[in-house]
Amino acid sequence: MKVALAGNPNSGKTTLFNAITGRVEHVGNWAGVTVEKKEGNIKKSLVEGNADIIAVDLPGAYSLSPFTSEESITSEFVKKENPDVIINIVDATNLSRSLFFTTQLLELGIPVVIALNKSDLSKKKGITINVAALSEKLQCPVIETVSTVTRKNGLQDLISAAVSVKGKKQKSPFEGLEVDLTDKKSVEAADKKRFELVKAIVAEVEDRKTSSNRQTRQDAVDRVLAHKWLGIPIFALVMWAVFSISQTYVGPFFADTFVGWIDTFNGWVEGLLGDRVSPVLKAILLDGIIGGVGAVVGFLPLIMVLFFLLALLEDCGYMARVAVVMDRFFKKVGLSGKSIIPMIIGTGCAIPGIMATRTIKNERQRRTTAMLTPFMPCGAKVPVIALFAGVFFNDSAWVGTLMYFVGIALIIIGALIVVRITGEKNKRSYFIMELPEYKFPSIKRALVEMFSRAKAFIVKAGTIILLCNAAVQIMQTFNWKFQVVAEGAENTSILATIASPFAILLIPLGFGVWQLAAASLTGFIAKENVVGTLAVVYSITNFIDTEEFALINGATDVAGVMGLTSAAALAYLMFNLFTPPCFAAIGAMNAEMEDKKWLWGAIAFQLFTGYTVAFVTYQAGTLITTGAFGSGFLPGLIAVTAMIGCVAYLMKKGEQKATAKSALKSA
Amino acid sequence: MDHTVSSKIILPFSGRTKRNVNEVTNLANAQVNKEYVIKEVKTDDEELKNFLFTLGCYEGETVTVLSVVSDNLVISVKDARYSIDKDLAEAIIV
């Protein structure tokens, strides 16, 4: 038996889905988090008689109207999946809007059960809903649910109701709404009638103590958090606090202990191997695999704390306000307000972020957003940030915060350039976004999110990163004749000879050595590899010193081994964050852009951005700290100027296209 | 547009630089905290119009502006709050 979950955005579908299936899909307290359907088996404890029931979580929609693109994804799903029963999740605090969608679902000829979700919130707001009357009016079962709690949440009743209606014919309460779906006028007229019906039902079954269009404390908070001038500084402060907690205080506290365990494990394996095993094999196992993977995994506590905090932020409703604050800037550069959603999702992982661009209708805006989303530092980039913040900048929270804001700035500048190149800057776009109510974030949900991220991180470290580190270690150990490279002749190793040509290009950026070039290259497979490879090539098994609190103590040593100045370190960090993302994310870009020219353009643009940002950071930083430009300034300047020239030329061409277009229009 | 012209003629010496508050034509110049009835959603963008419709934002329905934040308006339609930008507010004629 198959059950589809359908309902308005932010009605709590995914939370309910997670509650009935025991899965841990990402949930956000705002519209548009789910773009792809998700499937899972309903927990046996909720089902009488142990039947197999598959639940399908669909993206949120406000209607099934055939004329809106966002909605058609959902209606396609409903038709294609052909579920036995639809569970319609209705937000009890907003019956008058939610039931419009319900009336459409009731006409599909598939039995519907209504989950009157958030019924705890509606009670708190003084809303009483006559459930029996509502059920009778709609001629389908209505069950009150609270999917955020584990007991007395109505979920068992909901599932039994769904099972009991399977295969039964439900009479649609809206007879006489036969409409010709191809005729727009007829659909519109029918939809208006539908809203009238909903209004009549709501008037009968709902009793509200206070009207919802009065100003509340929420609005007062909005006026501060989404303030024209205060909005950005507040956001910066919030992000700084997140990094300060995760990277400077709580994260390292756990990381120290954790890294201690990894070291002990390394020592234990070394003891186990004894002297009988060949030194080469030993090095591959101890330095390459355990050392490299361990260096990456050492950052796990920091990442967990970070995601815990980000989940709290998302759950309390703050992120929707950030979107409002950002809209002003995004609009100026020709992006839609909707572009913000993929970017915020991209702070977890760029791939779902890029996939979320699907809801943007305008093709250029969608492609531009897909191209710029990877500039947001994702979870995989966090270890890289943490490593550099720890080794070179005393664990300062400003490093991470700065990276986020540089990412946002690059997105805005990038969008500005792209809109000029495409010559479409006069396109108007509207912004509308539902503002969810602020609420106290659920600790449990944040913990669930944190552990699911941690699990994904460990799985990745144990598979792809492990393989990469082993490969790097092998390539570093042998030369092309498969002889072990002699001490002092490291430059002849396979890895060194592959990475050296790239290293030459990186001289003007301040890090033109093959070790760092190799780490950047492996970063395209997965960004965590940057940390792993650095650990392998410099034989540092742990970046987080176990003694005392601290990256601080070990810092000078590690920094010394890498031989980078602070300016070069910051440039190297930015280079790794703002060049093209990992291959998986590039694959996602390819899928959403649906155009090879755009894809290659995007990759070229990302390379250009990473190179230029690193160049400027290194050279300007060196000039400030030492009073002179860094190495390779002139060739670097020529390269960057040439690239900027190319971009400027393309922008000019786009501008001409735009003028020609508007001339054509006015003629 | 007639409204703007007439307001300039009627109130040339009133010393107000802003348009008279009594002459609310769309949500962008609506008063905060006052309920308005939507007269029309004026846009060529059919998809937007349809979308607004599904939220319950169409002629004959009521809408209230709750606050102005970052150049956007916070409006209440049915029982939900939305943030909309100025362009969209101008398209909602009240």
**Reported confidence tier of residue A428, pLDDT bands at 50, 70, 90:** low
Q: What's the pLDDT score for residue A426?
A: 58
- What are the CA-CA distances from residue A550 to residues A227, A388, A531, A545 (Å)? 39, 13, 17, 5
pLDDT digits (tens, 9 = 90+) for A161-213: 999 988 888 777 766 556 666 667 777 788 888 898 899 999 999 988 777 78
Least confident span in A74-78, A427-431, A618-622, B7-11: B7-11
Contacts of B89 in chain A (CB under 8 A): none
Q: What's the pLDDT score for residue A522?
A: 94
Q: Do B54 and A71 touch (CB under 8 A)?
A: yes
Range A462-487 average pLDDT: 90
A552 pLDDT above the threshold of 90: no
> Is any Cβ of chain B less than 8 angstroms from the Cβ of A329?
no
> Is any Cβ of chain A less than 8 angstroms from the Cβ of B58?
yes
A322 to chain B: closest CA residue: B70
Contacts of A231 in chain B (CB under 8 A): 69-70
Question: What proportion of chain A, given as a percentage, has pLDDT over 90?
Answer: 45
Strand-pairing partners, residue A90, are A116
Q: What's the pLDDT score for residue B13?
A: 38
Q: Taking a contact as any Cβ pair under 8 Å apart, which residues of chain A between 438 and 467 contact chain B?
A: none
- How far apart are the CA of A609 and the nearest CA of chain B, in angstroms? 29
- Beta-carbon pairs below 8 A across chains A and B: 119
**Span between the terminal Cα atoms of chain B, in Å:** 14
Q: What's the pLDDT score for residue A442?
A: 87
| Among the partner residues A97, A323, A431, nearest to B55 by beta-carbon distance | A97
Q: Which two tokens stand for residue A350?
A: 């760029």
- Cα–Cα distance for residue pair A96/A193, rounded to 1 Å: 14
ipTM: 0.83
Q: How many secondary structure helices (H) and strands (E) does chain B include?
A: 3, 6
- How far apart are the CA of A118 and the nearest CA of chain B, in angstroms? 14
- How far apart are the CA of A104 and the nearest CA of chain B, in angstroms? 11
Tell me the angle at which helices A363-372 and A596-626 cross, rounded to the nearest 10 degrees.
Answer: 40
Least confident span in A168-172, A291-295, A372-376, A394-398: A168-172
Rg of chain A (C-alpha set): 28
β-pairing, A38-41 with A432-434? unpaired
- What are the CA-CA distances from residue A228 to residues A120, A234, A320, A399, B68 (Å)? 34, 11, 15, 25, 9
| Among the partner residues B55, B74, B87, nearest to A62 by beta-carbon distance | B55
* Residues contacting A650, CB < 8 A, separation 6+: A421
Across all residues in chain A, what is the average pLDDT? 86
Question: Which helix (H) or strand (E) covers residue A271, if one does?
Answer: helix A250-273
| Among the partner residues A68, A192, A323, nearest to B51 by beta-carbon distance | A68
Range A370-393 average pLDDT: 92
Q: Do A219 and B67 touch (CB under 8 A)?
A: yes
Residue A566 contacts residue A576 (beta carbons within 8 Å): no
Domain ranges of chain A: 2-208, 231-660
Q: Do B70 and A218 touch (CB under 8 A)?
A: no
Give the DSSP letter string of B36-66: EE--EE--S-HHHHHHHHHHT-STT-EEEEE
3-class DSSP assignment, residue A280: helix
Count Cβ atoms below 10 Å from residue A149 Cβ, excluding itself: 14
Q: Do B58 and A361 touch (CB under 8 A)?
A: no
A547 vs A73, which has greater pLDDT?
A73
Secondary structure letter of residue A64 according to DSSP: -
β-pairing, A38-41 with A54-57? antiparallel
pLDDT digits (tens, 9 = 90+) for A53-92: 999 888 788 887 655 555 666 777 777 778 899 999 999 9
Helix, strand, coil tally for chain B in percent (to 5): 30, 30, 40
Range A617-643 average pLDDT: 93
- What are the CA-CA distances from residue A538 to residues A205, A268, A287, A379 (Å)? 70, 22, 10, 24
pLDDT digits (tens, 9 = 90+) for A575-604: 999 999 999 999 999 999 989 999 999 999
- Cα–Cα distance for residue pair A266/A268, rounded to 1 Å: 5
Residue A559 contacts residue A391 (beta carbons within 8 Å): yes
* Residues contacting A75, CB < 8 A, separation 6+: A61, A64, A66
Q: What's the pLDDT score for residue A221?
A: 93
Q: Do B67 and A223 touch (CB under 8 A)?
A: yes
Domain ranges of chain B: 24-93
Amino acid at site A554: G
- Nearest CA among A554, A508, A648, A23 for reference residue A252: A554
Q: How many residues does chain A have?
A: 667
Q: What's the pLDDT score for residue A547?
A: 41
Residue A59 contacts residue A39 (beta carbons within 8 Å): no
Q: Do A68 and B47 touch (CB under 8 A)?
A: yes
- Give the CA angle between residues A527, A532, A537 to the nearest 5°: 125
Q: What's the pLDDT score for residue B5?
A: 38
- Cα–Cα distance for residue pair A490/A310, rounded to 1 Å: 43
Least confident span in A120-124, A529-533, A541-545, B67-71: A541-545
| Among the partner residues B56, B78, B82, nearest to A432 by beta-carbon distance | B82
Contacts of A72 in chain B (CB under 8 A): none
Least confident span in A32-46, A346-360, B59-73: A32-46
Amino acid at site A531: V
- Cα–Cα distance for residue pair A333/A336, rounded to 1 Å: 9
| Among the partner residues A65, A96, A228, nearest to B56 by beta-carbon distance | A96
> Is any Cβ of chain A less than 8 angstroms from the Cβ of B47?
yes
CATH architecture, domain defined by B24-93: Roll (2.30)
- How far apart are the CA of A145 and the nearest CA of chain B, in angstroms? 19
Residue A144 contacts residue A120 (beta carbons within 8 Å): no
Interface probe for B, chosen from A430, A438, A665 (most Cβ of B below 10 Å), is A430
Residue A16 contacts residue A117 (beta carbons within 8 Å): yes
Q: What's the pLDDT score for residue A551?
A: 41
Q: Do B78 and A222 touch (CB under 8 A)?
A: no
Strand-pairing partners, residue A129, are A206
Q: Which two tokens stand for residue A187?
A: 């659909």
Tell me the angle at which helices A566-578 and A514-522 cross, rounded to the nearest 10 degrees.
Answer: 30
* Residues contacting A480, CB < 8 A, separation 6+: A494, A497
Question: Which helix (H) or strand (E) covers residue A40, if one does?
Answer: strand A38-41
- Cα–Cα distance for residue pair A537/A518, rounded to 1 Å: 9
| Among the partner residues A69, A215, A331, nearest to B85 by beta-carbon distance | A331
Residue A464 contacts residue A525 (beta carbons within 8 Å): yes
Residue A361 contacts residue A390 (beta carbons within 8 Å): no
- Cα–Cα distance for residue pair A507/A636, rounded to 1 Å: 8
- Cα–Cα distance for residue pair A125/B46, rounded to 1 Å: 35
Q: Do A215 and B82 touch (CB under 8 A)?
A: no
> Is any Cβ of chain B less than 8 angstroms from the Cβ of A212?
yes
Q: What's the pLDDT score for residue B7?
A: 37
> Is any Cβ of chain B less than 8 angstroms from the Cβ of A327?
yes
The most confident of A238-252, A264-278, A497-511, by mean pLDDT: A497-511
Q: Give the largest CA-CA distance in chain A.
A: 87
- Nearest CA among A22, A165, A605, A188 for reference residue A367: A605
How would you class A665 by CB atoms within 10 Å of its CB: exposed for 0-12, middle for 13-18, buried for 19 or more?
exposed
Q: b/e per residue, A120-139, with b = 16+ CB within 10 A?
A: bbbeebebebebeebbebbe
* Residues contacting A355, CB < 8 A, separation 6+: A35, A36, A342, A588, A591, A592
3-class DSSP assignment, residue B74: strand
Strand-pairing partners, residue A207, are A128
3-class DSSP assignment, residue B33: coil
- Cα–Cα distance for residue pair A381/B20, rounded to 1 Å: 54
3-class DSSP assignment, residue A549: coil
Helix, strand, coil tally for chain A in percent (to 5): 65, 5, 25
Question: Which helix (H) or strand (E) covers residue A39, if one does?
Answer: strand A38-41
Q: Which two tokens stand for residue A649?
A: 């030329």
> Is any Cβ of chain B less than 8 angstroms from the Cβ of A90?
no
| Among the partner residues B48, B71, B76, nearest to A430 by beta-carbon distance | B48
Q: Do A97 and B78 touch (CB under 8 A)?
A: yes
Domain A2-208 of CATH type 3.40.50.300: yes
Count Cβ atoms below 10 Å from residue A609 Cβ, excluding itself: 23
Q: Hunting for tokens 């492996």 — which residue is that?
A: A522
How many Cα neighbours within 13 Å face the side chain of A637? 8
* Residues contacting B10, CB < 8 A, separation 6+: none
3-class DSSP assignment, residue A435: coil
A211 to chain B: closest CA residue: B79
- How far apart are the CA of A185 and the nearest CA of chain B, in angstroms? 12
How would you class A43 by CB atoms within 10 Å of its CB: exposed for 0-12, middle for 13-18, buried for 19 or more?
middle
Q: What's the pLDDT score for residue A287?
A: 83
Residue-by-residue pLDDT tens, chain B, 94 positions: 334 333 333 333 344 444 455 567 899 988 998 999 999 999 888 878 888 888 999 998 999 999 998 889 999 998 899 999 888 999 999 9
- Cα–Cα distance for residue pair A480/A497, rounded to 1 Å: 9
Q: Do A213 and B35 touch (CB under 8 A)?
A: yes
Residue A12 contacts residue A31 (beta carbons within 8 Å): no
Q: What's the pLDDT score for residue A580?
A: 95
Residue B24 contacts residue B91 (beta carbons within 8 Å): no
> Is any Cβ of chain A less than 8 angstroms from the Cβ of B83?
yes
